[in-house]
């Protein structure tokens, strides 16, 4: 049998007064927590005299009404019934009945401003007008909404934080009031914000630079002098400094110590530089390319210039590669110039492809958007048991990524779009020399479905356009199959078949739908999943015959990204495969 704490105390004879409260659950908890007669009622009768008990009991209705007013109930009716002591030594029992009535609602809001914001907005200055109007429209307690002290305090805190985040860092409330009309059960709100001065960007004061350039740090702010110093500006600045991979620790603050200098404010940047060079070693295994080992070397000051060199070597069962790049540090427009090269050896089920590339271009990472422009020269060789094909190509390319995700590492909502377009000229063995165009896009969407279920869908489309006798390099063409394509089929095992050998096609079309959820509440980072994949690569869309793969999997949503193990059945092959991606870096 369940008993309340009050009933348990009554049973022990230690209670002075037992109070039974009949009220909605949240309000009952509020009254039990704050009423004096409840709190002191837990004391023994000998510790409080009879006169004090009577005073506490008589004062309880008024105190209860005051507490209920903090929740917006200004016309609540509280009835108290005192029952006589049942037996000697037993506590008095008091019954409190609460009839709240409707909660009061906001009837009117008056939101005014003082200081620089009011003055410049009255003059029609666009930024001030925008800030003023947005603060009024985003105020949390709009007319018609229910009133409570907690909501009132939260609305004031949120509005002041928003105002301070727009560049008015010293903003305060010069006056706030909530006027109660009990007869109408309405509340009129009055708030007046003193904005103080608008802090505008003056100088960037940098502490901690040793090898890197102050100009690089200034470029990463990506704001003109005199711009309002907003909280998003400072957060974006700090994020860019982190992504630059030049600094081990970063702290960015606005100097508000002298409001008279707000028109030319200092942004304080305290840095600790990362080591000039470092090595990263890694081992891993995946169903696509088997076991592998990698080593990456980064040098953050190439020949004394503001540039970073990055080299990565990979040795694996099915893929061996070297990737190298020298890129400048971000300029005033955040773009980096780059010179890179790649040598890749890739072993498929029936062929081996060796390619060498060199590229020159520019790139920018704006968080949600990435852009890469480059020209590239490529030489490729494909060997099968029957023939060897060589090709050389020169191309100009644009790659773009657009993300709108709740998390880049572990997304559950939003979408990402990756698009590529390239124009080139190719010369291949036993083929004509001629132009080609390559287009590719990949769209992935994430959506919470409720009841701890999450959906994910992907569409991938690509095509190489060219004259019939022109052959683009194998690396510019398409194959399907593998972990991130059509599961249930081997890596790069889907494509047009010539003389019994799978090759690369001029078109690709794949899609995937997946449903996942945590396996248990005690292991929220371990998810189970079911999925269906379909698609193929071919010489043309008219000849493309999609194949189907489906199965189940387990995901571990680790801090560095999801690690996956999937069992997939390839319907075309009438067999199953295990797909997995597991790696360790140290």
pLDDT digits over 88-104, tens only? 556 667 788 888 889 99
CA dist 272 and 458 (Å) reads: 41
Confidence of residue 81 (pLDDT cuts 50, 70, 90): confident
CA dist 484 and 480 (Å) reads: 9
pLDDT digits over 409-421, tens only? 889 999 999 999 9
Q: DSSP state, 38?
A: H
CA dist 161 and 25 (Å) reads: 32
Nearest alpha-carbon partner for 288 in 490, 485, 553, 479: 490
For the beta carbon of residue 31, count every other beta carbon within 10 angstroms: 21
Whether 507 contacts 464, CB under 8 Å:
yes
Whether 518 contacts 464, CB under 8 Å:
no
Query: How much is the pLDDT for 44?
Result: 55
Whether 454 contacts 529, CB under 8 Å:
no
Query: How much is the pLDDT for 147?
Result: 93
Decide the pairing of beta strands 186-194 and 105-114: parallel
Residue 8: strand, helix, or coil: helix
CA dist 142 and 152 (Å) reads: 11
What token pair was written down for 566? 């999937």
Query: How much is the pLDDT for 247?
Result: 96
Q: DSSP state, 3?
A: -
Q: Which phi-psi region, left, alpha or beta, contains residue 10 (left: φ > 0; alpha: ψ -120 to 50)?
A: alpha
CA dist 163 and 183 (Å) reads: 35
Q: DSSP state, 494?
A: B
Confidence of residue 437 (pLDDT cuts 50, 70, 90): very high
- The arithmetic mean of pLDDT across residues 126-144, rounded, is 94
- The arithmetic mean of pLDDT across residues 536-559, rounded, is 94
pLDDT digits over 442-478, tens only? 999 999 999 999 999 999 999 999 988 888 888 899 9
For the beta carbon of residue 177, count every other beta carbon within 10 angstroms: 10
Mean pLDDT, all residues of the chain: 89
Query: How much is the pLDDT for 454?
Result: 97
pLDDT digits over 323-379, tens only? 999 999 999 999 999 999 999 998 877 888 899 999 999 999 988 899 999 999 999
Does the pLDDT at position 317 exceed 90?
Answer: no
CA dist 234 and 251 (Å) reads: 10
For the beta carbon of residue 246, count every other beta carbon within 10 angstroms: 25
CA dist 161 and 115 (Å) reads: 17
Query: How much is the pLDDT for 318?
Result: 87
Does the pLDDT at position 2 exceed 50?
Answer: no
pLDDT digits over 12-55, tens only? 444 566 778 888 888 888 888 888 877 766 655 555 566 777 78
Query: How much is the pLDDT for 15?
Result: 52
Query: How much is the pLDDT for 491?
Result: 87
pLDDT digits over 469-506, tens only? 888 888 899 999 998 899 999 888 999 998 788 889 99
Whether 344 contacts 355, CB under 8 Å:
yes
Query: How much is the pLDDT for 13?
Result: 43
Q: In what order do the strands lie in the sheet with 17-22?
A: 17-22, 92-99, 77-83
Query: How much is the pLDDT for 14?
Result: 43
Query: How much is the pLDDT for 91?
Result: 64
């Amino acid at each position: 049998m369940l008993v309340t704490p009050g009933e348990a105390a009554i049973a022990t004879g230690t209670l002075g007064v037992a109070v039974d409260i009949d009220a909605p659950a949240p309000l009952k908890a509020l009254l039990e927590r704050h009423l004096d007669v409840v709190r002191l009622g837990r004391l023994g009768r000998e510790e409080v005299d009879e006169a004090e008990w009577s005073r506490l009991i008589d004062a309880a209705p008024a105190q209860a009404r005051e507490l209920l007013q903090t929740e917006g109930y200004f016309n609540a009716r509280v009835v108290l019934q005192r029952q006589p002591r049942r037996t000697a030594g037993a506590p008095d029992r008091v019954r409190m009945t609460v009839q709240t009535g409707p909660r009061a609602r906001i009837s009117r809001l008056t939101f005014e401003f003082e200081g620089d914001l009011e003055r410049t907005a009255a003059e029609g200055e666009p930024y001030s007008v925008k800030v003023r109007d947005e603060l009024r429209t985003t105020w949390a307690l709009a007319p018609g909404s229910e009133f409570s002290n907690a909501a009132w305090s939260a609305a004031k805190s949120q509005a002041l934080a928003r105002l301070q985040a727009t560049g008015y860092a010293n903003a305060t409330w010069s006056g706030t009031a909530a006027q109660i009309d009990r007869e109408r059960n309405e509340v009129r709100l009055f708030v007046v914000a003193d904005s103080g001065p608008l802090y505008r960007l003056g100088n960037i004061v940098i502490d901690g630079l040793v090898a890197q350039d102050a100009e690089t740090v200034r470029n990463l702010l990506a704001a003109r002098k005199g711009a309002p110093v907003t909280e998003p500006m400072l957060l974006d600045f700090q994020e860019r400094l982190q992504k630059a991979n030049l600094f081990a620790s970063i702290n960015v603050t606005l100097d508000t110590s002298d409001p008279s200098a707000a028109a030319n404010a200092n942004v304080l940047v305290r840095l600790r530089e990362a080591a000039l060079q470092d090595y990263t070693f890694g081992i891993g295994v995946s169903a696509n390319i088997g076991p592998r080992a990698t080593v990456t070397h980064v040098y953050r000051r190439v020949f004394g210039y503001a540039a970073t060199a990055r080299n990565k070597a990979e040795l694996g069962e099915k893929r061996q590669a070297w990737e190298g790049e020298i890129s400048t540090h971000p300029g005033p427009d955040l773009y980096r110039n780059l010179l890179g090269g790649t040598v890749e050896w890739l072993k498929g089920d029936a062929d081996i492809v060796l390619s060498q590339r060199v590229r020159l271009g520019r790139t920018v990472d704006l968080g949600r958007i990435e852009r890469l422009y480059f020209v590239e020269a490529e030489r490729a060789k494909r060997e099968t048991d029957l023939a060897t094909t060589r090709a050389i190509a020169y191309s100009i390319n644009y790659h773009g990524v657009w993300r709108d995700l709740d998390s880049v590492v572990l997304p559950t909502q939003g979408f990402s779009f990756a698009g590529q377009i390239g124009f080139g000229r190719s010369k291949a063995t036993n083929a004509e020399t001629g132009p080609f165009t390559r287009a590719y896009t990949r769209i992935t969407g994430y959506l919470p479905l409720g009841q701890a279920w999450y959906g994910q869908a992907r569409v991938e489309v690509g095509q190489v356009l060219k004259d019939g006798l022109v052959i683009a390099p194998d690396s510019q063409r398409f194959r399907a199959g593998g972990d991130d394509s059509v599961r249930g089929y081997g890596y790069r095992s889907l494509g047009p078949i010539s003389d019994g050998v799978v090759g690369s096609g001029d078109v690709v079309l794949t899609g995937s739908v997946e449903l996942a959820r945590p396996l248990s509440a005690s292991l929220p980072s371990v998810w189970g999943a079911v999925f269906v994949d379909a698609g193929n690569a071919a010489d043309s869309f008219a000849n493309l015959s999609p194949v189907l793969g489906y199965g189940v999997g387990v995901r571990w949503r680790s801090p560095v990204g999801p690690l996956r193990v999937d069992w997939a059945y390839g319907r075309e092959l009438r067999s199953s495969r295990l797909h997995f991606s597991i790696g360790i870096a140290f």
